[in-house]
Amino acid sequence: MIDRGVLLVRIAVRNLLASPINLLIGGLILLGTLVFVLLGGLLDSLNQAMQRSVVGSLAGHIQIYSASSKDELALFGQMGNFPDLPAINDFPKIQDALTKVENVKMVVPMGISAAIITSGNIVDVTLEKLRNLYKARDGQPSDPKLSGVPREELVLRIESEIAHLRQIIKVLRGDVEKAMADMVNTKSVEPRNVEALARVEQPAFWADFDQAPYENLEFLENRIAPIVTDTSLVFLRYVGTDLDKFQKSFDRMRIIKGSPVPQGQRGFLIADLMHEDQMKLKTARRLDKVKDARLNGRLIATDDELKRFVKENRHQTRELVLQLDGLKTAALVKSLQALLATKETSIDVLLSQLLDTTDENFEERYAQFYELVVPQVQLYRVKVGDMLTIKAFTKSGYVQNVNVKVYGTFAFTGLEKSPLAGATNLMDLMSFRELFGYLTSDKAEELKEIQRATGAKAVSRENAEAELFGEDAEVVAEATPGVIDPDAALAGTGRKLREEDLIRRVYTQQHLDDGVVLHAAVMLEDPSRIDEAIARINQVSQEQHLGIQAVSWQKASGILGQIINVFRALLFVAVGIIFIAAMLIMYLSVLMATLQRTQLFGTMRAIGAQRGLILSMVLIESLVLGLLFGGLGMLAGWGVLAAIATTGIAAPNDVMYFFFSGPRLIPQLSTWPLVVALVIILVVTIGSTLLPALMAMRVSPLRAMQADE
């Protein structure tokens, strides 16, 4: 039997090399296999890279959320339209149940939402500084940093800030005149604004300023500050979470500036890319982008985008000038005159000359800008250590404010430039619950204190009617862990927890766990068993009535997770077309070859060959053809992937950083493209050969002899 098989293989190899049509068919099989293995390997590497990005930056291996949710959880690509997820109130019970599931490593509570922060314009900021300086001078400091500062120094600072204000007003005069000429910004050309601006331009206004400083500051705040148009709103996408658990679970996370939020305390971490793109001086950010582009081989002389950045920097010096007070302006003018070898006295012109960068002077001017200009201005609108006021709509529809300290900025290793991974900020759970409108432990303590102070008592819902309309004393309804309006509930009663106390307060793990969450990330010991873990979590939820559902990282990532399925479908369609064409050509070729060998098959039958031998000979010839050229295609595909892996594929833009899980995609060949390619080869070869082989098997000796005559 073995000898017979070897003989048939030798015959198949001889016939394979003897027919040019077989080489054509083999070439199609080789090409199709190469394409499938190459694209399959790239697709699998892309899938693994995107999994590392999604799992390592936000989603974890599995996400759980309420089973009663009408919306599907989508962590990415939602902008301000987030899924409406019902709250999970009994998180400790869920966490305890899930940590007992085999393969579950950690459960990280979360809540994704969005909010808005505002940064006051430069006049607002300067007026606030002046107000604090005057209060400190008058012995009633409101800024702790000014306590103990000598009166003489306070007077000098006041004079400097007033000089700064007068310089800002000069810039505003130019803005108003331009607006009046263009008739674009109608708010700036209102007669009352023009009158107010004319008044504060007069020396008499400033000569009498110290006689009624607070009234004059109020006038400037109400009439001059609204003219400035540089107040900005920043849209914040954030996740409220147990920050300590988050950093332990997502090991790609690292602090870029500042420090982590101390364990158990309130705080905020800004995504570093967002901090750079949206909170940095536009001039400095444009310079940074030009520098990065030049490191990648782009040139100012030939790149239209870089030319635009340079032009905007030259003409948009206003944001710098507005921050310079009199003393800073004088010092900077002197430094720039010496640097640029000019007698020009206008700070606008000097800054414009400094920022007129070319490929030849860029590195020098970049360093000079950061050395001379940046120390004189505020580089970031929100700095590490600042107190950030975040505004958002609660679940019940009212606006809630939360003050949190910015401890630092963070990024995920390899995803530093990814807009998708760099768009989500982190907030502590307690602040998230308060901002979202849920009852927190702090509010619960305040309610209890109010009850003790007023002598009120709590009653159950079923007894509320009898208590309210009976002869008993005044009561309050029993508090629930649902949505509340804390400001309405506590207005005029009790003692508000002071902001400083909230910042310093350390919450226990029980405080963090015993509260509302919207969803949670589940980290696994063995990610390859994710389907098994999802099935087990959903089973535990049903058995213990947890009311949650579990989904994979791919489904939880929303539309981003479906992109890989689209790529895979396109791959199979393309390869399917190639192999269908190969099957059709192979079928026709084998059919023609079979008809041409009718006499041979008949003669073999006449000398005693069985039908099975004829069938085996034809099938083995096709299998040898498919396996030989298919194997060559696999080797070629593997070789191309190995060659690409030596350098990787560079991400063409910042968005692809997320899909590549870093600046370059390093392909790694897995077994599934090879296995699938082998199966396809066998199906194509056997499927296209079976009918001609059956025809060859049925050739009779009589027909062969008739054909011979």
H/E run at residue 234: strand 232-241
Q: Please state the rounded mean pLDDT for residues 139-143.
A: 75
| Position 575 pLDDT exceeds 50 | yes
What pLDDT is attached to residue 487?
45
Q: Please state the rounded mean pLDDT for residues 584-596.
A: 65
Q: Are 634 and 37 in contact (CB under 8 A)?
A: yes
Q: 151 burial class (0-12, 13-18, 19+ CB within 10 angstroms)?
A: exposed
* Listed range (23-37, 44-58, 395-409) with the worst mean pLDDT: 23-37
Average pLDDT of the chain, as a whole number: 79
What pLDDT is attached to residue 243?
94
What pLDDT is attached to residue 485?
45
Main-chain phi, psi angles of 666, to 5 degrees: -100, 105
- DSSP codes joined into one string, 643-689: HHHHH-EE-SSSTHHHHHTSSEE-----HHHHHHHHHHHHHHHHHHH
Among the ranges 38-42, 132-136, 414-418, 671-675, which has the highest mean pLDDT value? Answer: 132-136
CA nearest to 423, candidates 57, 678, 702: 57
What pLDDT is attached to residue 4?
56
| Position 151 pLDDT exceeds 60 | yes
Distances (CA, A) of 511 to 284, 505, 671: 42, 12, 48
* Listed range (117-126, 528-537, 623-632) with the worst mean pLDDT: 117-126
Torsion, Cα 296 301 307 309, to 10 degrees, reads: 40
Q: Which residues are within 8 A (CB) of 217 and not within 5 positions of it... i.e. 6 or more apart?
A: 127, 130, 131, 134
Q: Are 183 and 190 in contact (CB under 8 A)?
A: no
| Position 401 pLDDT exceeds 50 | yes
Q: Please state the rounded mean pLDDT for residues 560-582.
A: 71
Structure token digits, residue 408 = 């630092």
CA nearest to 569, candidates 29, 47, 33, 27: 47
Strand 232-241 relative to strand 424-428, pairing: parallel
* Listed range (20-24, 489-493, 535-539) with the worst mean pLDDT: 489-493
Q: Are 11 and 617 in contact (CB under 8 A)?
A: yes
More reliable by pLDDT, 183 or 428: 428
Strand partners, 107: 522
| Position 707 pLDDT exceeds 70 | no
What pLDDT is attached to residue 82?
67
% residues pLDDT > 70 (the chain): 73
Q: Which residues are within 8 A (CB) of 245 and not within 5 positions of it... i.e. 6 or more apart?
A: 106, 108, 109
Q: Are 382 and 275 in contact (CB under 8 A)?
A: yes
- Report the Cα–Cα distance between both ends of the chain, in Å, rounded: 35
Q: Measured between alpha carbons, how far is 427 from 418 in angstroms, rounded to an integer?
A: 20
Q: Measured between alpha carbons, how far is 672 from 252 in angstroms, rounded to an integer?
A: 28
Q: Give residue 256's pLDDT band: very low, low, confident or very high (50, 70, 90).
A: very high
Angle between the N-to-C axes of helices 282-295 and 304-315, in degrees from 0 to 180, rounded to the nearest 10:
150
- Count CA within 13 A, CB hemisphere, residue 332: 26
Q: Measured between alpha carbons, how far is 451 from 469 in angstroms, rounded to an integer?
A: 20
CA nearest to 432, candidates 110, 94, 22: 110
| Position 298 pLDDT exceeds 70 | yes
What pLDDT is attached to residue 237?
87
| Position 491 pLDDT exceeds 50 | no
CA nearest to 149, candidates 133, 162, 160, 168: 133
More reliable by pLDDT, 425 or 602: 425
Q: Measured between alpha carbons, how far is 559 from 400 in angstroms, rounded to an integer?
A: 30
Q: Give residue 286's pLDDT band: very low, low, confident or very high (50, 70, 90).
A: very high
The per-residue pLDDT for range 598-622, each reduced to its tens digit, is: 666 666 656 655 666 666 676 777 7
Q: Measured between alpha carbons, how far is 322 from 120 in angstroms, rounded to an integer?
A: 13
Angle between the N-to-C axes of helices 20-54 and 671-697, in degrees from 0 to 180, rounded to the nearest 10:
150
Q: 333 burial class (0-12, 13-18, 19+ CB within 10 angstroms)?
A: middle
Q: Which residues are within 8 A (CB) of 555 and not within 5 positions of it... i.e. 6 or more apart?
A: 72, 73, 561
Q: Which residues are within 8 A (CB) of 589 and not within 5 positions of it... i.e. 6 or more apart?
A: 21, 22, 24, 25
What pLDDT is attached to residue 397?
67
Structure token digits, residue 178 = 């331009």
H/E run at residue 393: strand 387-393
Q: Please state the rounded mean pLDDT for residues 452-471.
A: 59
Q: ∠373-298-304 over CA atoms, to 5°? A: 80
What pLDDT is attached to residue 448?
62
Cα maximum dimension of the chain:
130
Distances (CA, A) of 198 to 126, 166, 174, 205, 207: 20, 12, 12, 10, 15
* Listed range (230-234, 268-272, 302-306, 676-680) with the worst mean pLDDT: 230-234
